[in-house]
């Protein structure tokens, strides 16, 4: 049996290639650092595979092009970084309201405001709780390696189509810029039936309307209830997480996602060498947050430590699960400063004292 | 033999729904003309509409074609997403008001036109925000009273109205840019010809038809007086004309090919 080819690729380019291999042939975006390699790669590759790369006049437009293309029934994506993602929020809400599948990659940078262009996790709240007006949700996937980013891209397109909902892949500047060996999945692209798409109305059916407007409040209420039934199914079926060194029920558990989880793993290995019993709980779906799995480790844990590249946003979800039974401590650095292995070890030692 | 003769009927490209537009509003005429063009060109199964926020946001209930509702001003971006996705034999049109197109959607319309998106934009200019209650629009005439220019549009404060056809006509890509009106039988017949031309040229490039339209509710006039008001006040400022057609494409559209090697030469 032929083994799949392993390639050394930069995170951003691997994400773009993974999207193409997942059947995405349409990309609409706007330049912003630190994710420019995604549109650059797309502008080169998509015409080679019969696709369309189009640079929009703004992020607002890009997200509305996504709405038009997604509503036409194709696999479509955009990518941006924090301030650009904020601008896309308008289209994103319409995608949710009209139940249009699309994939949005957010390579987060430091904020608020123009902030800086260094890696950050400051958009956790925006992606999982906000990202547009109104009652809605989107599945948010948070890869911690380039390989995982590749795997989650394929999943993102499938989840988007399956639930008729936008799906976010939330990385940080580190995932984007890092080079790692990757293997692309060989599974065939899943094709979903989209009888709702506005592709031109044959005489045999009623016209399809892509719409999020329901002027009658009771009708809107019914629509939102319908959306939330879908979100409940996502909550039930799509929680994903990874545990690391939790088998011996360590008293200290670090909660971290994305690149931060990777750095935490190194710290945990170091600490384990010195006899400290500690492990990691890593959400892969930031939304739906892996509530069930995290609840399962509360009993055996004495203290949780949330580590983030921000002033603490995921920690609120951790606290929600852990409740008042156990302390949830926090360590994080904002502004694009990356917490180091040594700092995490130091924080853990402070906990034990 | 029956004495009755059918001389007017609802276009097949319209649904049976009743329009919600105010009495005397000319939106209904514009809808009908577009539907007739779609029917006469026999492209109902190939047409996708985009109707953004404005009085016409519910137009998806009226046009019997596949259709997207869109957010305020973004219809050209949504239409771009559709056009770049669906087979080339499709027809894509947007139906936008003046607040939508010339204010919040200015970037989207200019760039869609500049990319030469193969779509038809129908621009309904009634010099006011109708849906939200008669506020000042980018096309509101100097001195014109609205709910947010109660002393009349003060050009020293907020500039002059924008002429969209003239503005878009500065770009290289558009293949058809024209302004008509839908207030008199003569205008209506001409408006239909403009729409038909635009749809027919759509597969060759960006096409734009502005239609001066009445808003009796927002203007505080009877439908009859609205027609006269439009003639007296809007037509002189927004001249009815074909600004761009294939026979009158600017030379720049075909001639300009920059010498990009100049960068290397400079080094040498
Ligand atoms: S508010 Fe004005 S534009 Fe809107 S439907 Fe009424 S008359 Fe027509």
Write out chain B residues lying below 8 Å of A199, CB-based.
48, 66, 86, 90
> Does residue A70 sit at the B interface (CB-CB below 8 Å)?
yes
Q: What is the mean pLDDT of residues B17-22?
A: 95
Domain count, chain A: 2
Pick the residue whose CA is nearest to atom 5 on ligand 1: B21
Is residue A66 situated within a structural domain?
yes
CATH code for position A311: 3.40.50.920
pLDDT digits (tens, 9 = 90+) for A70-115: 999 999 999 999 999 999 999 999 999 999 999 999 999 999 999 9
Query: Is there a contact between B43 and B91 (Cβ–Cβ < 8 Å)?
Result: yes
For residues A103 and A172, state if they share a domain. Answer: yes
Residue labelled with tokens 């056009």: B83
Nearest to A210 among B68, B86, B115 (CB): B68
The pTM is what? Answer: 0.95
For residues A226 and A279, state if they share a domain. Answer: no
Tell if the CB–CB gap between B66 and A202 is shorter than 8 Å.
no
**How high is the ipTM of this complex?**
0.95
Is residue A2 situated within a structural domain?
no
Query: Would you state the pLDDT for residue A216?
Result: 95
Helix (H, G, I), strand (E, B) or coil at A186: coil
Could you tell me the strand order of the sheet in which A166-172 lies? A52-55, A26-29, A76-80, A102-108, A166-172, A139-141, A285-287
Q: What is the mean pLDDT of residues A235-248?
A: 98
For residues A248 and A233, state if they share a domain. Answer: no
User: What is the residue range of A27's domain?
Assistant: 7-237
> Does residue B259 register a pLDDT over 90?
no
Tell if the CB–CB gap between A68 and B68 is shorter than 8 Å.
yes
- Domain range list for chain B: 27-246
pLDDT digits (tens, 9 = 90+) for B107-130: 999 999 999 999 999 999 999 999
Pick the residue whose CA is nearest to atom 7 on ligand 1: B215
For residues A248 and A155, state if they share a domain. Answer: no
For residues A334 and A308, state if they share a domain. Answer: yes
Query: Would you state the pLDDT for residue B268?
Result: 45
Burial class (CB in 10 A: 0-12, 13-18, 19+), A214: middle
Is residue A211 situated within a structural domain?
yes
First-last CA distance in chain A: 54
Helix, strand, coil shares of chain B, percent, nearest 5, are: 40, 20, 40
Write out chain A residues lying below 8 Å of B79, CB-based.
68
**A255: nearest Cα among A244, A239, A270, A271:** A244
For ligand 1, say whether the CB of B31 is within 6 Å of any of its atoms.
no
> Does residue B85 sit at the A interface (CB-CB below 8 Å)?
yes
The domain boundary residue, chosen from A175, A208, A237:
A237
- Mean residue pLDDT of chain A comes to 96
Is residue A1 situated within a structural domain?
no
Q: What is the mean pLDDT of residues A306-311?
A: 98
For ligand 1, say whether the CB of B33 is within 6 Å of any of its atoms.
no
| Cβ neighbours of A249 (radius 10 Å) | 12
**Gap from CA of B23 to ligand 1 centroid (Å):** 8
The matching CATH number, chosen from 1.10.357.10, 3.30.420.340, 3.40.50.970, 3.40.50.300, for B27-246 is 3.40.50.970
Testing ligand 1's pocket by substitution, the residue of B21, B97, B137, B223 carrying the most ligand atoms inside 8 A of its CB is B21
The domain boundary residue, chosen from A181, A203, A237:
A237
The domain boundary residue, chosen from A204, A219, A237:
A237
Query: Would you state the pLDDT for residue A150?
Result: 97
Least confident span in A109-118, B3-12, B170-179, B224-233: B3-12
Q: How confident is the model at residue A328 (pLDDT cuts 50, 70, 90)?
A: very high
Residue labelled with tokens 């409740």: A323
Testing ligand 1's pocket by substitution, the residue of B126, B216, B217 carrying the most ligand atoms inside 8 A of its CB is B217
> Does residue A49 sit at the B interface (CB-CB below 8 Å)?
no
Give the single-character DSSP code of B204. G
For residues A285 and A308, state if they share a domain. Answer: yes
pLDDT digits (tens, 9 = 90+) for B138-173: 999 999 999 999 999 999 999 999 999 999 999 999
Helix (H, G, I), strand (E, B) or coil at A172: strand
Q: Which helix (H) or strand (E) holds A54?
A: strand A52-55
For residues A201 and A313, state if they share a domain. Answer: no
Q: Which two tokens stand for residue A310?
A: 């921000």
């Amino acid at each position: 049996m032929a083994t799949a080819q392993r390639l050394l690729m930069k995170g951003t380019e691997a994400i773009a290639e993974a999207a193409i291999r997942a059947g995405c042939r349409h990309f609409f975006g706007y330049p912003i650092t630190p994710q420019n390699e995604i549109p650059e790669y797309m502008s080169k590759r998509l015409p080679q595979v019969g696709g369309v790369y189009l640079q929009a006049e703004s992020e607002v437009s890009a997200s509305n092009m996504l709405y038009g293309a997604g509503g036409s029934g194709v696999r479509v994506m955009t990518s941006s970084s924090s301030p650009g993602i904020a601008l896309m929020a308008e289209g994103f809400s319409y995608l949710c309201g009209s139940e249009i599948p699309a994939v949005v990659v957010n390579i987060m940078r430091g904020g608020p405001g123009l902030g800086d262009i260094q890696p950050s996790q400051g958009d956790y709240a925006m992606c999982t709780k906000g990202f547009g007006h109104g009652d809605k949700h989107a599945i948010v996937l948070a890869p911690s390696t380039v390989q995982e980013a590749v795997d989650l891209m394929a999943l993102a397109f499938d989840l988007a189509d399956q639930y008729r909902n936008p799906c976010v892949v939330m990385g940080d500047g580190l995932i984007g810029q890092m080079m790692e060996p990757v293997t692309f999945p060989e599974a065939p692209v899943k094709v979903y039936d989209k009888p709702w798409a506005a592709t031109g109305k044959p005489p045999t059916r009623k016209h399809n309307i892509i719409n999020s407007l329901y002027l009658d409040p009771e009708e809107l209420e019914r629509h939102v209830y319908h959306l939330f039934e879908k979100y409940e199914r996502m909550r039930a079926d799509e929680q994903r997480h990874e545990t690391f060194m939790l088998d011996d029920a360590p008293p200290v558990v670090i909660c971290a996602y994305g690149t931060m989880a990777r750095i935490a793993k190194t710290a945990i290995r170091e600490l384990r060498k010195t006899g400290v019993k500690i492990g990691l709980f890593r959400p892969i779906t930031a939304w739906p947050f892996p509530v069930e799995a995290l609840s399962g480790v509360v009993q055996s844990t004495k203290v949780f430590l949330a580590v983030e590249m921000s002033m603490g946003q995921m920690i609120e979800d951790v606290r929600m699960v852990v409740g008042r039974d156990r302390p949830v401590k926090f360590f994080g650095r904002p502004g694009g400063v990356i917490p180091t292995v040594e700092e995490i070890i130091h924080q853990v030692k402070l906990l034990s004292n | 033999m029956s004495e009755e003769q059918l001389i007017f009927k609802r276009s097949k490209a319209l649904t049976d729904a009743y329009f919600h537009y105010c009495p005397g509003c000319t939106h209904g005429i514009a809808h009908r003309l577009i539907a007739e063009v779609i029917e006469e060109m026999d492209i109902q199964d190939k047409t996708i509409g985009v109707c953004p926020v404005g009085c016409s946001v519910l137009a998806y209930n009226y046009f019997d074609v596949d259709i997207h509702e869109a957010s305020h001003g973004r219809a050209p971006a949504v239409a771009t997403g559709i056009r770049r996705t669906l087979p080339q034999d499709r027809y894509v049109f947007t139906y936008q008001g003046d607040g939508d197109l010339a204010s919040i959607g200015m970037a989207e319309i200019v760039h869609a036109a500049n990319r030469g998106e193969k779509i038809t934009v129908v621009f309904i200019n009634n010099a006011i925000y109708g849906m939200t209650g008669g506020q000042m629009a980018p096309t509101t005439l100097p001195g014109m009273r609205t709910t947010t220019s109660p002393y009349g549009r003060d050009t020293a404060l907020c500039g002059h109205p924008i002429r969209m056809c003239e503005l878009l006509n500065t770009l290289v890509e558009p293949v058809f840019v024209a302004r008509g009106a839908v207030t008199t039988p003569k205008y209506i017949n001409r408006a239909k010809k403009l729409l038909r031309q635009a749809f027919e040229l759509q597969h060759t490039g960006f096409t734009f038809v502005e239609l001066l339209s009445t808003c009796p509710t927002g203007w505080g006039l009877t439908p009859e007086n609205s027609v006269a008001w439009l003639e007296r006040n809007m037509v002189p400022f927004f001249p009815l004309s074909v600004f761009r057609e294939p026979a009158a494409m600017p030379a720049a559209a075909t001639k300009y090919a920059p010498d990009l090697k100049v960068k290397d030469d400079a080094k040498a």
